[in-house]
Structure 1
Amino acid sequence: MTVSLKRLFLVAITLLVIPLLGLSLWSSLTEPQITDRLQLYQTDLLLHVNELQVDDPQDANLLAARKAVLGNDPLKTALEQYQDVRQSAATNLQKFQQQLPAPAASDDPIAAPTAPIPSTQDKLQNSQTLTNIQKQSDLLQQLDLRIGLLQADQDNIQPALATWAKLTQSGNPPSQSAQLANVLTGLWSEPPQIFPNAEELLQKQLEGWFRYKALSRLYQLQQRTEALNTLEDQEQQVAQQTLVKLALVSTVPTLGAVIGVALIVWLSIRWLLGAGQSRETTGSLAWQVPWDWEVIAWVLIVGFFFAGQIAIPGLLGIGSRILSQVGISASLAAVGGRAKAFYTLTYYLLMAGTGLFVLYRAVKPFSPLANDWFRLTGKRNWFLWGLGGYFVALPLMFAVSLVNQQFWQGQGGSNPLLQIVLEEGDPVALLIFFFTAAVAAPIFEETLFRGFLLPSLTRYLPVWGAIGVSSLIFATAHLSLSEVLPLTTLGIVLGTVYTRSRGLLASMLLHSLWNSVTMIGLFILGSGVE
């Protein structure tokens, strides 16, 4: 391909990619974050721990751990959190409802209102909006069921009955949530009313602490002492296991953040005391870049965005349709989580392989490169730099996430993989997801964004500017508006670690640790709800 044709192709691909990326980012604006869901999962675990009975008053360690995890009033806190999430869900539902086209007005007051015939794009958008409306409506029903149980457990019976009444009055025929609300209303009414299928509905439609509370009420009313004792014994076992899980989820990152703050203070003091003495200036950290902006754009636009966000998803979609025509897709769907895991891994390996191939072909004409290009070990201890970078990233990400959450208010989208892992129970699927996030992603993304993009930008920007711009592109590539600020912060830490250590293994380790701890935390939270 001649230079002029190659440049023309690059311009055409860029004009295609930029609007599609902008559309993907804009569409994430109306997508909910996973933050609220994570908060409720942790709240559900706290409710289990609240049931833990400490038989030995001398067991100071267990008492201290229980108090540290629960706080002062866990039931009140849980109710407030559920009500906050419900308010957010109601706001989202209203936004989605407003996105539906309103019927056009008519001059004839008798004639039915008409609307223009929607285009195919409008139909797809309306279909997605209706799907979002249904999801939010279902979520509101589930939240009302749980809010009512929290109110009833705190002896606020009338508010609980009023909460469930909203469900029993909606829908004809009644939905499963409405049927369950009827059962719960009967259990806490005066006098109580027990429906014939009460236990079956409670077992099937409730989970975790909420199932325990509802079944406990049922068995008490039925005077089934043996069943009640068995249920309480099971809950005590769950509560003890959950206390350990919550301690891992909350204590380990907190200790890591404390270490990170200490490292930040130490590095700041060292930098202040050594300013003017260190010979390693930001200018000396820049790379010798033999290529220009066109090579950078070619690798980034064609090798990553076009291949990863357009071409490969399109090919996989065509493959999926072919499989459905020959009857294979049904068997894949039956595998469930494993099919999603294999699809995710296949997609990522194809994207990484294509991106790295384009990168290799783009820089090959400039070989041999200088010694500090794409080095793994670098000139400093890569393990210490990667581990230390992870600790430093923890408090920074905590602080940025708090600000970010206040700004986005639960909107802006999240990585869909997080939700899948949170709800996945298959060990094989989880192992595949873990490999994708903790091994494949760090190797590819660090090679592309830190190994190639960051050094390449030092031809046109100072080192700190190259770190910032490459981090922003890295964050934007995840296609969720709410994740741009946190991931940019993480990218800055990754870029600083790579720039100072000069080794990709350092940033790969940091990246892998971050993804690994996140995945393990999601697994622990998701495994503790039942």
Structure 2
Amino acid sequence: MQNSAKSVFGAMILLIQHLPHLHSTVAKREQFYDKFYSKLRHFPHLCSFKFNSKAPLKCFCSKNQTTHEAFQGFSALPRDTPWDNDTVWSTMALYIFSLHIPLSLGSLSLVSQLMHMPILDPQTKALSRLAIQTLEFILTLLLLKLTAKPNYRFRNFFRDNELCSKRNWIFASAFGVGFLLSLVFLTSLLAERVIGPKAVSNLVLKEILDCSNISRTACFIAYCVVTPFLEETVYRGFLLASISSEMQWQQAVVISSAVFSAAHLSVENSLQLFIIGCVLGCSYCWTGNLRSSILIHSLYNAMTLLLTYLS
């Protein structure tokens, strides 16, 4: 132990004496290393040291391996969320029972009473639906802002974190759309063979699309712009991100997709909605931002509108 200490001390003295040569040319640096190594032979405990005479003396610092330890491998969602875990489900219940269900079920009848029209024409229905969806989106953002942590800046809600910027959300969106359409097509084909062919599932939507250009435009904006932003903000940006902070991301995707399906109040389409929610949830988990799931949702709704219009 004493010999090792003397050897290290002697090597340090040699290195300090020849320190000015480290910033010289390669030839001088090579001479320094040869001279230094020849003197180092007098210290047997350090004779196994090797030096590279072609490269300057450098310090290699390893990166912190725990930089992304808050992420769960596949999932890019951070553990720290803008909402406390104790308030997530109460906020979700407040949204569903105070905003979503009243505006979805009773809004058109209220419009009918205000306009003194027993039956709304398709164009009025389309414009009313667009206005109601926009109102629900604004009120939802306000609700999420009010229930977030006091020190949280809500404008950061739609921003990427460090890991998100390294993942291609456009590629994820393209893959998600293709995978979702293929999956829905296969499930629809299977259901058609088991149950039989199904007529147009939404006659009201078909009527709106066949009415006028104004009704079609309003319907497109409502279904392909406002609805994707609204639902992805609630079910992925809020619910999925919040519950994934306290469980595995796979479990969070399944739970949020089940809530997403149930909130549509459609037993007939519940399985298909659950599958859609899972695909959107996986896309959001991998990319870590809402742009991917919003784009997939928007393109899927646009395809649905097109098929309904052509049917």
TM band (smaller chain): 0.5 to 0.7
Whichever residue aligns with residue 188 of structure 2, its letter is S
2:176 corresponds to which of 386, 389, 402:
389
Structure 1 residues 464 and 370, CA gap change in structure 2 (3 angstroms): farther
Query: CA 1:410–1:484 in 2, change beyond 3 Å: closer, same or farther?
Result: farther
Aligned to 2:7: none
Matches within 5 A, 1:207-222: none
Please tell me whether residue 457 in structure 1 is matched to residue 249 in structure 2: no
Q: Tell me the SS of whatever aligns to 2:175.
A: helix
Which residue, 133, 144, 148 being the options, matches 1:363? 148
Question: What SS does structure 2 have at the residue aligned with 1:461?
Answer: coil
| Distance 1:349-1:290 versus aligned 2 partners, 3 A rule | closer
Structure 2 CA distance for partners of 1:290 and 1:343, relative to 1, 3 Å: closer
Aligned to 2:187: 400
User: Cα deviation per residue 1:24-63 (whole Å; 9 max; x = unaligned)?
Assistant: xxxxxxxxxxxxxxxxxxxxxxxxxxxxxxxxxxxxxxxx
- Give the TM-score taking structure 2 as reference length: 0.66
The aligned counterpart of 1:256 is none
Q: Deviations over 1:408-433 (max 9, x none)?
A: 6679x9556544346x2311101110
User: For the pair shown, which has the larger CA radius of gyration, 1 or 2?
Assistant: 2
The structural deviation recorded for 1:491 is: 1.1
Structural mapping, 1:372-521, within 5 Å: 373-375=157-159, 378-379=164-165, 380-405=167-192, 414=201, 418-421=205-208, 424-521=210-307
Change (3 A) 1:337 1:421: closer
C-alpha distance 501-282 of structure 1, shift in aligned 2 (>3 A): closer
Normalization by structure 1: what TM-score?
A: 0.40
* Structure-1 separation of matches of 2:292 and 2:208: 26
The 5 Å alignment of 1:173-252 reads none
Shift of 1:392: 1.3
1:304 corresponds to 2:96: yes
Q: Cα distance, 1:303 vs. partner?
A: 1.9
Amino acid at match of 1:451: G
Residue of structure 2 in register with 1:200 after alignment: none
Judged with a 3 Å threshold, the aligned counterparts in structure 2 of structure 1 residues 428 and 369 are, in CA distance, closer, same or farther, namely closer
Moved more, 282-291 or 433-442: 282-291
SS in 2 for 1:480: coil
Bigger proportion of residues as helix: 1
Change (3 A) 1:286 1:514: same
Q: For the Cα contact (< 8 Å) 2:134–2:226, is it kept in 1?
A: yes
Q: Secondary structure at the match of 2:115?
A: helix
SS at 1:289's partner residue?
coil
Among 123, 128, 138, the residue aligned to 1:353: 138
CA distance in 2, matches of 1:286, 1:441: 25
Q: Which residue of 1 aligns with 2:308?
A: 522
Paired residue secondary structure (1:449): helix
Of 80, 87, 98, which residue of structure 2 is paired with 1:295? Answer: 87
Shift of 1:452: 0.8
SS in 2 for 1:482: coil
Give 1:264-303 correspondences, 5 Å limit. 281-282=73-74, 285=77, 287-289=79-81, 291-303=83-95
The question of whether the paired residues in 2 share the 8 Å contact of 1:288 and 1:370 is answered with: no
Amino acid at match of 2:91: V
Preserved contact between residue 177 and residue 296 of structure 2 (Cα < 8 Å): yes
RMSD: 3.1
Structure 1 pair 297–421 and aligned structure 2 pair: CA distance change class (3 A): same
1:85 corresponds to: none
Query: How many angstroms apart in 1 are the aligned matches of 2:274 and 2:257?
Result: 5
1:338 is matched with: 123
Change (3 A) 1:407 1:447: farther
**C-alpha contact (below 8 Å) 1:494/1:511 kept by paired residues:** yes
Alignment CA distance shift 1:408-1:390 (3 Å): same
Partner secondary structure for residue 494 of structure 1: helix
2:108 and 2:125 in contact (8 A); partners too: no
1:282-332 Cα shifts (integer Å, max 9, x gaps): 5775532364444212332112342121267546644532432xxxx38x9
The answer as to whether partners of 2:177 and 2:300 remain within 8 angstroms in 1 is yes
